[in-house]
A and B are shown apart, each in its own frame.
Chain A
Amino acid sequence: MIKVQGLTKSFGRQQVLRGLDLEVPTGSITVIIGRSGGGKSVLLKHLIGLLHPDAGRVLVDGVEITGLRGRALDEIRQRYGVVFQGGALFDSMRCAENVAFPLREKLHLPRPEIVRRVEAALHQVGLEGMGAKYPAEISGGMRKRVAIARALVTEPEIVFFDEPTTGLDPILVNTIHHLILDLHQKFRFTAVMVSHEIPEIFEIADTVAMLHEGRIAEVGPPPAIQASSNPVVRQFIRGEPENAEGR
């Protein structure tokens, strides 16, 4: 279980997170929604340990990671898998090498074992036979799949997705969502996803948390969020223009 308590972060004069509280139950898919530039990615980076908060704590299974540095933080990260917004594939390496990279550098597995697991991982995301291509040679949707394969190949306990479907057409969005759902059912990892695919995201989320003005405005299972009476949430999920309800 990941627990966030009173997380506060400013960049210069701009306060992005203002005492945010959130709980992510183990083994579930939690999706964080909210306006663009509203701090969703900043929140995610705190969970991964890429940013350090001004105040507040992040606890992973009871271990506080906010004060950790270096090796201690790396130990927590051994259990993580992260799918970055643009995929963040190493563009000097072929797709298969990208997927193999954490196995080789992190787990130091023997070569045949790496080859076997890379093939299995590429098969799972429907990209068998594409391993020899460079990231620049494949489409955006394929890059996201390779990124997912790379994040999952080490069989992490917790997987973070930073807008895994931005820039994809609606059909591909659904394909990626169902891929994530399938993989989740297979590996039972804890998933934290940042997304603004409304309403598609309600199909795969166990919990949805709405981030607004640096705090979680509302959190709950998809039906509860969809039926919410909170004007901020209603406005966001119906995509109404900002001045419609006179905020």
Chain B
Amino acid sequence: MTDRPLPLALRALDALGQRATYVVDSLGRFGTFLGQALATILTPPFKFWAFIDRIHYIGYRSLLIIVLTGGFTGMVLGLQVYLTLVRFGSEAYLGPAVALSLIRELGPVLAALMVTGRAGSALTAEIGIMRITEQIDALTVMALNPLRYLVAPSILAGLVTFPLMTAIFDVVGIFGGYLVGVELLGLSQGTYFGEMQTFVDMQDIMTGFWKSLSFGVVVTWVCTYKGFNVGHGAEGVAKATTDAVVLSSVLILVWDYFMGSVLP
């Protein structure tokens, strides 16, 4: 914060340095936030009813959109993969192709993206509004830890709901593919499900499971963090909500790549 203007050459460096400091500082806050939230998960008292409410909020209320998107993803896969496979005369592998793409990649990723759009944004907005209307300060001055009441239940609910929603997405998607492949395009039912059973391993299912589990943490972590550190007024809440959705979506895809290269 010097008042004397810097030489032009140094000004660029100064800007770069400030930017770097800012980025490292926010990353540190972001990490510390999760650490503190995890600490409140591991120490009593546990806010059980807040946790149930969050499962209701993140999970149950997202059921419809999960079923809808899962079904149509499966149907699109069924159609497109069939059209490709039929050229090689290997349409018998439609079942495994649909199931494996859903279970390993599309299920966890698309379910996470959908839930981010529906519940993640609302989570950020809700916590953001609690921040700007001083409800979070009210908790603090009651000598209660707001992380315990707002963040810990959300992260735990993310851990529980994301794998379940991914499983629902997968199953509905597989039946969507069945509708198109078997009912519409005339593949035999036995081929569709039989080949699927031969090709899909428990390992594939576990890969999808670990992915969805980690997405559950990433999404709730980003969304509660953005809500907690909201700017001023309604504009701040709007910006935090957008930021939370964008950052969650990007992190889901980046993290999916890393998980994909680490997991078998």
Shortest distance from the beta carbon of A54 to any chain B beta carbon, whole Å: 13
Cβ of A88 and Cβ of B143 under 8 Å apart?
no
Question: Which residues of A are found within 8 Å of B32, using beta-carbon distances?
Answer: none
Binds A, one of B130-138, B165-173, B197-205: B130-138
Cβ of B144 and Cβ of A106 under 8 Å apart?
yes
Encode B140-173 as 1/0 by CB contact (under 8 A) with A.
1111100000000000000000000000000000
Count of chain B residues near A, Cβ 8 A: 13
Q: Is the CB of B1 closer than 8 A to any CB of chain A?
A: yes
Cβ of B134 and Cβ of A88 under 8 Å apart?
yes
Cβ of B142 and Cβ of A48 under 8 Å apart?
no
Shortest distance from the beta carbon of A26 to any chain B beta carbon, whole Å: 19
Count of chain A residues near B, Cβ 8 A: 22
Q: Is the CB of A85 closer than 8 A to any CB of chain B?
A: yes
Shortest distance from the beta carbon of B145 to any chain A beta carbon, whole Å: 9
Cβ of B138 and Cβ of A88 under 8 Å apart?
yes
Shortest distance from the beta carbon of A17 to any chain B beta carbon, whole Å: 18
Give A81's nearest chain B residue, CB to CB: B141
Question: Which residues of A are found within 8 Å of B129, using beta-carbon distances?
Answer: 91
Q: Is the CB of A105 closer than 8 A to any CB of chain B?
A: yes
Cβ of A106 and Cβ of B143 under 8 Å apart?
yes
Cβ of B138 and Cβ of A82 under 8 Å apart?
yes
- CA of A80 to CA of B142, assembled, Å: 8
Cβ of B144 and Cβ of A85 under 8 Å apart?
no
Question: Which residues of B are found within 8 Å of A102, using beta-carbon distances?
Answer: 142
Q: Is the CB of A89 closer than 8 A to any CB of chain B?
A: yes
Cβ of B134 and Cβ of A77 under 8 Å apart?
no
Cβ of B142 and Cβ of A50 under 8 Å apart?
no
Question: Which chain B residues in 105-144 approach chain A with CB under 8 Å?
Answer: 129-130, 133-135, 137-138, 140-144
Question: Which residues of B are found within 8 Å of A75, using beta-carbon distances?
Answer: 143
Question: Which residues of A are found within 8 Å of B135, using beta-carbon distances?
Answer: 88-91
Question: Which residues of B are found within 8 Å of A82, using beta-carbon distances?
Answer: 137-138, 141
Cβ of A77 and Cβ of B141 under 8 Å apart?
yes
- CA of A13 to CA of B141, assembled, Å: 28
Q: Is the CB of A220 closer than 8 A to any CB of chain B?
A: no
- CA of A96 to CA of B144, assembled, Å: 19
Shortest distance from the beta carbon of A149 to any chain B beta carbon, whole Å: 13
Encode A1-15 as 1/0 by CB contact (under 8 A) with B.
000000000000100
Shortest distance from the beta carbon of B52 to any chain A beta carbon, whole Å: 13
Cβ of A80 and Cβ of B134 under 8 Å apart?
no
Cβ of A86 and Cβ of B133 under 8 Å apart?
yes
Question: Which residues of A are found within 8 Å of B138, using beta-carbon distances?
Answer: 82, 84, 88, 90
Cβ of A84 and Cβ of B1 under 8 Å apart?
no
Cβ of B134 and Cβ of A105 under 8 Å apart?
no
Question: Which residues of B are found within 8 Å of A90, using beta-carbon distances?
Answer: 130, 135, 138
Question: Which residues of B are found within 8 Å of A106, using beta-carbon distances?
Answer: 142-144
Encode A62-95 as 1/0 by CB contact (under 8 A) with B.
0000000000001101101010111011110000
Question: Which residues of B are found within 8 Å of A85, using beta-carbon distances?
Answer: 134
Question: Which residues of B are found within 8 Å of A84, using beta-carbon distances?
Answer: 134, 137-138
- CA of A48 to CA of B134, assembled, Å: 13
Give B142's nearest chain A residue, CB to CB: A102
Give A160's nearest chain B residue, CB to CB: B141
Cβ of B144 and Cβ of A88 under 8 Å apart?
no
Cβ of B143 and Cβ of A74 under 8 Å apart?
yes
Shortest distance from the beta carbon of B179 to any chain A beta carbon, whole Å: 40
Question: Which residues of A are found within 8 Å of B141, using beta-carbon distances?
Answer: 48-50, 77, 80, 82
- A→B interface (CB under 8 Å): 13, 45, 48-50, 74-75, 77-78, 80, 82, 84-86, 88-91, 101-102, 105-106
Which 3 residue pairs spanning A and B have beta carbons closest together? A74-B143, A88-B134, A88-B138
Identify 30 residue pairs between A and B in the complex whose beta-carbon atoms are under 8 Å apart, listed by A's number: A49-B141, A50-B137, A50-B140, A74-B143, A75-B143, A77-B140, A77-B141, A77-B142, A77-B143, A78-B143, A80-B141, A82-B137, A82-B141, A84-B134, A84-B137, A84-B138, A85-B134, A86-B134, A88-B133, A88-B134, A88-B138, A89-B135, A90-B130, A90-B135, A90-B138, A91-B129, A91-B133, A101-B142, A105-B142, A106-B143
Q: A86-B133, A86-B134 are in contact. List 4 more A-B contacts (CB 8 A).
A: A82-B141, A88-B134, A88-B135, A106-B144
